[in-house]
Chains A and B, each alone.
Chain A
Amino acid sequence: MRRIFPYALGALVFAIASACGGGPQVAPQPNADSIAAAEAARRRADSLAAAQRMRDSLERVRAAEEERVRRMREDSVAMARRATEEVRATLMTRIHFDFDKSDIRPGDAQVLDQKLAILQANPNLRIEIVGHCDERGSDEYNLALGNRRALAAKQYLVSRGIAADRITTRSMGEEQPLAMGSTEEAWAQNRRDEFAIVSGGDVLRRPGM
């Protein structure tokens, strides 16, 4: 093993010598100074980029946070708005009556119970109930009947604890039909109470919240 080593070393030296011999094959020798300069530039650039990255990421975090806050705010506004709209829609749901009657129908008692809960959850809310009739019956009698229908709904709510001064009533008789025509279908639609917000309805809370 020891004997072989000197030959191998000699062959290696030869090989290096022959490899460096050819002019065009000679690789340019790097300048020690330029290497240092490039290294410095690279480090500078790296640190600048790092700083930028840092700034960017901070910016992203900030923006994300802002976005999050904004979204939250929007969400809560939207939620409140959605809640208000939903509550308002429930509040506006009409109730209907049998011909020449002002009794609250069993199904409509549930509709009124929803309104009752809304009035309880929103103590500043004041509403108006407008009673309407179909075209049958005397025109003037229907002004009285519409009044009865509005009063029936008011009475339902007042008897369950809503202050009477929060609810005003009005009658339009047969003067504002929803559906035109002289069919039982049109008449049934027109025999109704409509509910409107008088005040305190800009933001409405859902009952139980």
Chain B
Amino acid sequence: MKRLRLGCVCGLLVSLWSRPGAAQDTTRTLEQGVRVGITYTPGLRPGLLVMSTPGSVLLDSVRTILQRDLDYSDRFEMISLPGAESLMVAMTAPARSPSGGAAAVEGFVNYGLFEALGADYAVGIRAAADTPAVVTVFDVRGRQVRRVIALRAQSVEGPESRLAIHRASDEVVRAAAGTPGIAATRLVIIQQDRVFRIDADGADAVPVSRAGVKAMSPTWAPDGRRVAYMEFEAGAGRVYVQDIASGERRLVPPTAQGLNYALAFSPDGQTLAFTRNGDDGAHLFTYNLARDCCLQRLTADRFSDNLSPTFSPDGRRIAFASTRPGTPQIYVMSADGTGQELFAPFDYGVTGSSYAPEWSPDGLNIAFHRDVAGIPQVFVMDVASRRVRQLTSAGRNEDPTWAPDGRHLAFVSTRTGSRQVWIIDLDTGRVRQLTRLGDARLPAWSPRIAEGTNP
């Protein structure tokens, strides 16, 4: 009897463990007052089907990227059909239609079939005369065209072509879900000690900083045109601000000496906050980049380290990590350094060291990582209630960074062995791997990238 029960428990555990995606990171209970994991009821997302594009290699590559973007938005139940069956839901080429244009396309859409397949939305891609492709979003239940989106890239082969498709994907998300997706974004990461930028779907890793120079702490300016990062140089850690399009970079003058790291732009892009090591520990400073002046020290306590600043989206507050309570914990203050106080609650001797806070773009949450039994895990704190929940539990998980939609986080995880960047969707708990090469760390997610700024 006892053995039987044990067998049942094991079977239950195995079945829990083998549930794809979400289950892995949603199973542990720890200290009091901390909610663990993500509660998600599947089946509430609208179904979305991307029609196939037979006969066109170009459109098929557009479709591949678009479909992946929509999948990664985590807002839809993606309806995919294998091989030959997918031809049934192909959009008829408009060339065959008698009158042409969107209206004609609409005429060929088999809404009944899509509805039977569970689709709330269908997406078609077709060639057009003046643009590389036109993406149409069909409202299946409403039996009508919801949006027609023209791909704006001059050529699908060009340097911004993938971004152009990503932007179309984000528009599809906006048309179907009400808010834009995050496909037209990039991350900067440190890979093999060098800053790389990489598309949010994991493609196109391009080096940003110099080869052979150890770099850390990459971060995006809110305009999405510039990145700041630190390079180890001449015994110092110097901060550079680099324009992505031109590649030109400028030393932030007060960082020529000493070790300067853990950087953050203010939301108006004018001020850079950073951490600097001194003879009295690590402290927070701000420097006005726009006026190229006015180095200001924000923290002063002699016996603690203060690091990893992050601005609230209104620019009025800065959250940071401080070792004031003995172990590093999350603090907050006004952007001028006044009113410093503990932010994320902690129990002395119980709560693990907490690091690397990042304020969400909507201002509602702070993501950070905290040691749980000596292993770092990603946490999110609700700013209003200051309630904290743990998002990860598989492997070491650290340095979370928010996507501009405020529901996805990229973070570093060792869950499959080497350090790689992973992305978690806070609404569904779904996790995907972003990087697969070498050793990746310290990710920073860009805002949505405007056209012509990030070739």
**Which residue of A is nearest B356, CB measured?**
A138
Find the B residue at minimum CB distance from A168.
B235
Q: Find out whether the CB atom of B356 lies under 8 angstroms from the CB atom of A143.
A: no
Contact B399 A138 (CB under 8 A): yes
Residues of B in contact, count (CB < 8 Å): 32
Residues of the A chain whose Cβ atoms lie less than 8 Å from the Cβ of B355:
137-138, 140-141
Counting chain B CB atoms within 10 Å of each CB, which of A100, A143, A151, A154 scores highest?
Answer: A143
Does residue A171 face the partner (Cβ distance < 8 Å to B)? yes
Q: Which one of B235, B261, B281, B374 lies within 8 Å of A140 (CB-CB)?
A: B261
CB-CB contacts below 8 Å: B256-284 with A? 259, 261-262, 275, 277-279, 281-282
CB contact list, A147-204 vs B, under 8 A:
147-148, 151, 154, 169-171, 175
* B231 CB within 8 Å of chain A: no
- In the complex the two chains form, what is the Cα distance from A151 to B258 in whole Å? 14
Give the residue name and chain of the A residue nearest to B412 (CB): A139
A92 is an interface residue with CB less than 8 A from chain B:
no
Q: Chain A interface secondary structure, helix, strand, loop or mixed?
A: helix
Indicate whether B175 reaches chain A with its CB closer than 8 angstroms. Answer: no
Number of interface residues of A (CB under 8 A): 18
CA distance A138 to B356 in the complex (A): 8
Q: Does B398 contact A (CB under 8 A)?
A: yes
Q: How far is the CA of A2 from the CA of B94 in the complex (A)?
A: 173
Decide yes or no whether A117 CB sits under 8 A from chain B: no
A144 to B216, CA, bound (A): 14
A140–B399 Cα distance when bound, in Å, is: 9
**A70, CB-defined interface residue at 8 Å:** no
Most buried by A among B259, B308, B327: B259
Given contacts A170-B235, A175-B214, contact A140 B307 (CB under 8 A): yes
Q: What 0/1 readout, one digit per residue, does chain B (307-337) give for beta carbons within 8 Å of chain A?
A: 1100000000000010100011000000000
B47 at the binding interface (Cβ < 8 Å): no
Q: B136 on the interface (CB 8 Å rule)?
A: no
Q: Does A145 contact B (CB under 8 A)?
A: yes
* Contact call B281/A147, Cβ cutoff below 8 A: yes
Asked if A140 and B279 sit within 8 Å, CB to CB, the answer is: no
The contact of A143 among B259, B279, B398, B441, by CB within 8 Å, is: B259
- The answer to the question of B369 belonging to the interface, with a C-beta cut-off of 8 Å to chain A, is yes
Chain B hits for A100, CB < 8 A:
327, 353
Tell whether A136 is near chain B: CB-to-CB under 8 Å.
Answer: yes
Q: What CA separation (Å) do A169 and B277 show in the bound complex? A: 10
Task: State whether the Cβ of B447 lies closer than 8 Å to any Cβ in chain A.
Answer: no
* A residues less than 8 Å from B305 (CB atoms): 141, 144-145, 147-148
A148 to B398, CA, bound (A): 22
**Shortest distance from the beta carbon of A88 to any chain B beta carbon, whole Å:** 20
Distance in angstroms between the alpha carbons of A170 and B279 in the assembled complex: 10
Q: Are A138 and B369 in contact (CB under 8 A)?
A: yes
Q: List 16 A-B contacts (CB under 8 A).
A: A100-B327, A100-B353, A137-B355, A138-B369, A139-B398, A139-B399, A140-B216, A140-B275, A140-B308, A141-B307, A141-B355, A143-B261, A144-B275, A148-B305, A151-B279, A175-B214
